[in-house]
Amino acid sequence: SFTLGQRSNVSFNESKWIDTLTFTAEYFFSNENWTRHDYQNYLGFLAGKTSYSDKLAAGAYFEQYRNSRHYLYTSIYFSNFILIDFTFGNDFVFNLEDKSFLFQPSVVFSFAEGEAEAGLKAVFYSGKKDSEFGSLLGDTNLILFTQLYF
């Protein structure tokens, strides 16, 4: 397994509408993950299960980001964008084998002198029904969260 990537931070000290732009691009490979053929076999196995308890037990084998050997990840974040203490960002994960992906825009508000955050994330999944991100139960998730750092 290995990850190749680049992360870049650009500060805009003179700007009144943005403080920092952070861009990340990574390629991830793991020979321990399933191949596309392995994942297709798993979906076929699930389809053959008739009872809910059998499907639930078979679902224990599923782990997100372990169903392909090749992934591409990119993100872009704007810190203190237009409003102080707000960060707007987008994450994108692309499964290079089955061409499915997830897209995750977010907005985060920092408070308590940067020791806490509250935010909203939307996660959009896309792909064919036999792909990793296209075979999930839903195609959209909305996440409201808070975090406290100490």
Q: Rounded to the nearest 10 degrees, how much is the dihedral formed by the CA atoms of 132, 134, 135, 140?
A: 110
Q: Say what the pLDDT of residue 73 is.
A: 92
Lowest mean pLDDT among 100-104, 123-127, 128-132, 142-146: 128-132
Task: Kindly report the average pLDDT of the chain as a whole number.
Answer: 83
**pLDDT, mean of residues 113-132:** 90
**DSSP class of 33:** S
Please give the pLDDT value at position 88.
95
pLDDT in tens, 67-113: 778 899 999 999 888 888 999 999 999 999 889 999 999 999 999 88
Copy the structure tokens of residue 77.
């974040």
Q: How far apart are CA 8 and CA 91, in angstroms?
A: 15
